[in-house]
Amino acid sequence: MNYGFVKVCAATLGIKVADVRYNANKIISAIKEADGNGAQIVVFPELSICGYTCGDLFNQCALIESVEEEIAEIAQKTKDCSSLCFIGAPVANGGKLYNCAVAICAGEILGVVPKSSLPNYGEFYERRHFYPADCGVGTVDLCGITVPFGTDILFKAENSPDLTVACEICEDLWVASSPSIRHALAGATVVVNLSCSDEVVGKAEYRRDLVKIQSAKLLCGYVYCDAGDGESTTDLVFAGHNLICENGVCINQSALFENGLLYGEIDVEKLSSERRRMAESFFTGETKEHKIVEFEAGDRPFEITRTFSRYPFVPASGESLKERAELILTLQSKGLEKRVAHTGAKTAVIGISGGLDSALALLVARRAFLSLGKPLSDIVAITMPGFGTTSRTKDNSLKLISLLGASGRTIDIKNSVDVHFADIGHDKNVRDVTYENAQARMRTMILMDIANETGGMVVGTGDLSELALGWATYNGDHMSMYGVNSSVPKTLVKYLVGYEAENIGGECGRVLKDILSTEISPELLPPDESGKIAQKTEDIVGPYSLTDFFMYYSVRWGFSPEKIAYLAQKAFKGEYDGQVIMKWLKNFYKRFFSQQFKRSCVPDGVKVGTITLSPRGDWRMPSDAEAAVWLAALDEKF
């Protein structure tokens, strides 16, 4: 099973101009090699069977007749290959000559797509030899058979519902209204482009950006195959710059001036899922009727070579991480700024635990108050030690509050909770959910009352990962007046706190780094005999690296449980084995479904990334939905 991935190949070969048989033999060898490697789509450059730079030789009958003969030979000698192949060739039809892509699969010529936009400037003078496509879909007699001919042909895989392939040729991409636009609107998930683009300074970067943007706009995979060695260098040089892109991301690209076969895997299942999610905005306007040509895509298993980050919410490293961190912190602080200004709140009241989330909320509040010109002392930061608070987290809380210039208060909640236990008749020696949640709710009541007392608002500290897992006490840390971390997952919280540690530096940076190295815990159960944290969150809900990975691919992309398990095993190879991944993936689904009721009434909070679980925003889910389908899929597959 290839989990919705389609293996594609862009093949740039060293050709000989006008030596059609030589080129055809190279094409045959490349098709066999690519097919043997599991490629389901193989694309060759524009006019690759004879060479783009033939000039007035295109007017020679001998060349055109030889091309037709060799197309038949290619089909005959690749009949055992299941790859859908696109070969660039001049094709005569109705007394005109067209610059075309000939589609061949399993020895059968499926159709011919002519080029729509012919350059007629500078060194390019295609109109001297070719006619631009002037029809929707007709037919052409080629190699003794009649096949579809036209610009609006879609090649649909019978055995892969998400794979539909369309074709355009070189300049078609560079014009304002590319054929691929209507192809994508008609259902094409992969667009191939047979090109012969000359190389000049700066063009490779522009070309790469153009292909990436087109794939992003059209929510498609895009395979761009460029001519290279062998084309005439009378006036130009061609570098064979091949590109494979998917929804704005360059999956693979060739180095300039290197012939060969470039492979990549395009996730058409992901593209179809994204289109369904964006259907109302994506499928706008009317499109021409397309001719559907069916083929059977090769379905042999192949090795998926793409890599998947263990931390999909976090940039890899370097300047991109710093820029992303700065942007997210600014989004968070601007959201809080607006709420403080609108409500006229005098203070921001935050509970500080000595953990990551509350540290980030305090850092965001500091930025907001500096921007508003309000004194940092109007940030009321309260540490509330309870039965599980360790000296390390308490000390870090007090230090951080002081170093950031906030007003600090310490309110020990143990006596209040003891009184509450007495009121409800709970034995404090029974350390159950009541024991834990009473502390969380007591802290929230204190924060709310102090916000009233100081004319302020409570700033929530809970993060996106906790919302996904339901790891919050209902009407305890679950509640606030504005949640600045509500769309920031735990793995990203760590990076943001680390960024601010480096950014602020000094003693404050040291404290933040110590918070980063502290075990994640709600500290609702007493410490161990050595005074260290005994209640470890990741032992209960799973490693946040895994749960964030699961959340990203299930919520953002809607992937199946089996596919998420497969991707996780690739991403976390060497860190977690399949059994551990399955354990926590099942746990994720159980918690995600059972805890929706907590997400149905969360406070307002700024969206900073592609995922938010706000019921007012991107996530609408019934609180009583069942996880049975998702869990059954994992049981059946693994």
Asked if residue 22 lies in contact with residue 15, where contact means CB atoms within 8 angstroms, the answer is yes
Catalytic residue list contains 73 = no
- Cα–Cα–Cα angle for 437, 441, 442, rounded to 5 degrees: 115
Catalytic residue among 105, 170, 225, 508: 170
CA distance 184 to 165: 9
Residue 97 β-bridge partners: 92
Which phi-psi region, left, alpha or beta, contains residue 240 (left: φ > 0; alpha: ψ -120 to 50)?
left
Give the list of residues 6+ apart from residue 400 with CB closer than 8 angstroms, or none: 352, 354, 359, 362, 381, 508, 511, 512, 515
In the sheet that holds 137-142, the strands lie side by side as: 137-142, 145-150, 108-114, 96-105, 84-93, 41-43, 5-12, 260-267
Catalytic residue among 46, 168, 246, 500: 46
Burial 16-31 (b: 16+ CB within 10 A, else e): ebbebebbbbbbbebb
Q: What is the DSSP string of 121-182?
A: STT--GGGT-PPP--SEEEEEETTEEEEEES-EEEEETT-TT-EEEEEETHHHHSSS-HHHH
Structure tokens at 45: 């450059």
Catalytic residue list contains 289 = no
- In terms of Cβ atoms closer than 10 Å to its own Cβ (0-12, 13-18, 19+), residue 57 is middle
CA distance 480 to 448: 8
Structure tokens at 244: 């494979």
Q: Is 415 helix (H, G, I), strand (E, B) or coil?
A: helix
The sign of the torsion formed by the CA atoms of 270, 274, 279, 284 equals negative
CA distance 81 to 75: 10
CA distances from 274 to 24, 49, 165, 218, 318 (A): 39, 37, 17, 11, 29
Task: Indicate the Cα dihedral angle 66, 67, 71, 72, nearest 10°.
Answer: -30
The candidate with the shortest Cα–Cα distance to 245, out of 180, 316, 190, is 190
CA distance 493 to 336: 17
The candidate with the shortest Cα–Cα distance to 585, out of 521, 619, 633, is 633
Distance from the first to the final alpha carbon of the chain: 13
Phi and psi at 348, nearest 5°, equal: -115, 120
Give the list of residues 6+ apart from residue 193 with CB closer than 8 angstroms, or none: 43, 167, 168, 169, 170, 172, 173, 180, 211, 222, 223, 224, 225
Catalytic residue among 115, 156, 212, 494: 115
Catalytic residue list contains 231 = no
Annotated catalytic sites, by residue? 46, 115, 170
